[in-house]
Amino acid sequence: CYLNLSGFGGLKWFRPIGLQHVFDLKARYPDAKLVVGNTEVGIEMRLKSMHYPVLISVTHVPELNMLSVKDDGMEIGAAVRLSELVKVLKKVTAERASYETSSCRAFIEQIKWFAGTQIKNVASVGGNICTASPISDLNPLWMAARAMFRIIDCKGNIRTTLAENFFLGYRKVDLASGEVLLSIFLPWTRPFEHVKEFKQAHRRDDDIAIVNAGMRVILEEKNQKWVISDASIVYGGVAPLSLRASRTKDFLIGKSWNKELLQGALKVLENDIFLKEDAPGGMVEFRRSLTLSFFFKFFLWVSQQMD
Ligand code: FAD
């Protein structure tokens, strides 16, 4: 299926119906741009004067639209729309053991405050990931939730990378020009593993984040104490890319979950996620306090879960 839109400067719009067709088109037009909801590409073309003469709409590619519930987690096709994702996450959350769906619930909550219904009905999971916006609401959560991205090339080779290694810089991802993001694997959470989302925007509804975050800890009982065996603290809106608080993670691992831990972690976090006075985006004092208060809220929330 192919449209030549002469009124749009000869723009070619393709709508392939299989992944092989996508790669055939990419071989013919190496600079062609993939689109799903067009909510990023459309803005670039209309408001940022970007010119993409060949667009490949992958909305009807079955391989990119699969949603499969497995024993160890969920496989989500890159072209799955956010509204569709929420439906399945809700179903999974109702059906599976509660401890397995901590990440699912965090995604449901975060998507509640993601744009409006019209955008969510067309915007895709992969479009959000591949745009790699520093204020993406979902990328910090994929990273915190130990998600894996599956990437396919024109020969059908599939490689897998951890979400936390996928984002390389400002709107820059680990994807070669001949590669396509195929799917996202979201693992179920384990007993005593807790994942939580955070977002602060000017408005509650339909607004972009000032700062957002995804956080995860897994606790283990040792000598009648709850000890952190793994953690992941990731922020958006504080750097050119979604940013891991690596030193805070290192500080947390092996420590007992108590008030001293909170005090110590906040001190480490203050220097770990450091916004310079002249950081792009302004509101530096506010954003600094948000990074700390999100962690404070996370601490309280996890403590409640353990009661
Ligand atoms: P598209 O515009 O179709 O594509 C985006 C990019 O991804 C393109 O570069 C495309 O080539 C690439 N791409 C798509 N699929 C693949 C693939 N399988 N492999 C490789 N590359 C691929 N974002 C937030 O995080 N939070 C918000 O609250 C929010 N609110 C918004 C409100 C409005 C009004 C608008 C216009 C946007 C908002 N966004 C928000 C941003 C946007 O909606 C999301 O990033 C959306 O998920 C992008 O998906 P899409 O399918 O529309 O992407």
Residue nearest atom 40 in ligand 1 by C-alpha distance: 115
Residues ≥6 apart with Cβ < 8 Å to 189: 99, 100, 101, 102, 103, 145, 195, 216
- What is the band of 8 on the pLDDT scale with cuts at 50, 70, 90? low
Two tokens, residue 82: 């956010």
Hey, which of 15, 46, 54, 130 would you mutate to test ligand 1's pocket, going by the most ligand atoms within 8 Å of its Cβ? 130
- Hunting for tokens 């949603």 — which residue is that? 67
The number of domains in the chain is 3
Shared-domain flag, residues 88 and 111: yes
Two tokens, residue 278: 């002249």
Whole-number Å distance between alpha carbons of 61 and 23: 12
pLDDT per position as a tens digit, 90-149: 999 999 999 999 999 999 999 999 999 999 999 999 999 999 999 999 999 999 999 999
- Among 157, 187, 217, identify where a domain stops: 187
- What is the band of 2 on the pLDDT scale with cuts at 50, 70, 90? low
| CATH number of the domain enclosing 182 | 3.30.465.10
Q: Are the C-beta atoms of 268 and 247 separated by less than 8 Å?
A: yes
Give residue 138's pLDDT. 98
Give residue 204's pLDDT. 83
Residue nearest atom 21 in ligand 1 by C-alpha distance: 130
Give residue 36's pLDDT. 98
Shared-domain flag, residues 176 and 200: no
Ligand 1 contact, 136 CB (< 6 A) = yes
- Among 187, 208, 232, identify where a domain stops: 187
Least confident piece of the model among 121-135, 154-168, 202-216: 202-216
What are 231's strand-pairing partners?
Answer: 217
Shared-domain flag, residues 218 and 116: no
Q: Are the C-beta atoms of 235 and 139 separated by less than 8 Å?
A: no
> Measured in angstroms, how far is the CA atom of residue 149 from the centroid of ligand 1?
16
β-strands 73-77, 54-57 pairing? unpaired
Shared-domain flag, residues 89 and 110: yes
Shared-domain flag, residues 53 and 120: no
> Measured in angstroms, how far is the CA atom of residue 95 from the centroid of ligand 1?
29
Shared-domain flag, residues 156 and 241: no
Report the phi/psi class of residue 224: left, alpha or beta, with left for phi > 0 and alpha for psi in -120 to 50: left
- Whether the per-residue pLDDT at 1 is higher than 60: the answer is no
Ligand 1 contact, 36 CB (< 6 A) = yes
Task: Report the predicted TM-score, pTM, of the whole model to 2 decimal places.
Answer: 0.96
Q: What does the pLDDT average to over 273-281? A: 90
Q: What does the pLDDT average to over 163-183? A: 97
Shared-domain flag, residues 70 and 147: yes
- What is the band of 205 on the pLDDT scale with cuts at 50, 70, 90? confident
- What is the band of 7 on the pLDDT scale with cuts at 50, 70, 90? low
The complex scores an ipTM of 0.99
Least confident piece of the model among 70-74, 207-211, 234-238, 268-272: 207-211
Ligand 1 contact, 34 CB (< 6 A) = yes
- Whether the per-residue pLDDT at 197 is higher than 70: the answer is yes
Residues ≥6 apart with Cβ < 8 Å to 163: 129, 139, 142, 143, 145, 146, 147, 148, 149, 184
Q: How far is CA 50 from CA 33, 42, 133, 175, in A?
A: 11, 9, 17, 20
Residue nearest atom 37 in ligand 1 by C-alpha distance: 39
Query: What value does the mean pLDDT of the chain take?
Result: 95
Whole-number Å distance between alpha carbons of 151 and 182: 5
> Measured in angstroms, how far is the CA atom of residue 243 from the centroid of ligand 1?
19
Shared-domain flag, residues 280 and 173: no
Ligand 1 contact, 22 CB (< 6 A) = no
Shared-domain flag, residues 52 and 67: no
- Among 187, 202, 232, identify where a domain stops: 187
β-strands 148-152, 180-187 pairing? antiparallel
Shared-domain flag, residues 293 and 213: yes
Ligand 1 contact, 183 CB (< 6 A) = no
Task: Give buried/exposed letters for 104-128 (b at 16+ CB in 10 A, else e).
Answer: bbbbbebbebbbeeeebebbbbbbb
Domain that holds residue 44: 2-57
| CATH number of the domain enclosing 296 | 3.30.390.50
| CATH number of the domain enclosing 21 | 3.30.43.10
Whole-number Å distance between alpha carbons of 16 and 3: 11
- What is the band of 163 on the pLDDT scale with cuts at 50, 70, 90? very high
- What is the band of 281 on the pLDDT scale with cuts at 50, 70, 90? confident
Q: What does the pLDDT average to over 37-64? A: 94
> Measured in angstroms, how far is the CA atom of residue 41 from the centroid of ligand 1?
7
Shared-domain flag, residues 179 and 67: yes
Shared-domain flag, residues 67 and 181: yes
Ligand 1: nearest atom to the Cα of 180: 19
- What is the band of 65 on the pLDDT scale with cuts at 50, 70, 90? very high
